[in-house]
Amino acid sequence: MQSKLPKPFDKAMIYENSKLYVCLANYPIVKGHTIIVWKESVTDLHLLSKKRL
């Protein structure tokens, strides 16, 4: 995990691979609020090519 990405609380990590991680929100809006964090820096997810997804 890159240091500039937000760090999830302990035991909040649900899934991780080389491209992204999924975790429960540190400060959830609703119970079960889940966050998907891309490890690659992009300004818009629509700019990711299907090959990189």
Position 8 scores a pLDDT of 85
Position 53 scores a pLDDT of 62
Position 1 scores a pLDDT of 47
Position 12 scores a pLDDT of 94
Encode pLDDT of 1-43 as tens digits.
Answer: 455 767 788 899 999 999 889 999 988 999 999 999 888 877 8
> Is the whole model's pTM more than 0.75, yes or no?
no
Give how far the C-alpha of residue 41 lies from the chain's centroid of Cα atoms, to the nearest Å: 11
Please, which residues have CB within 8 angstroms of residue 53's CB and are 6 or more apart in sequence?
19
Position 48 scores a pLDDT of 76
Strands (DSSP E) along the chain, which ranges? 13-16, 20-24, 34-38
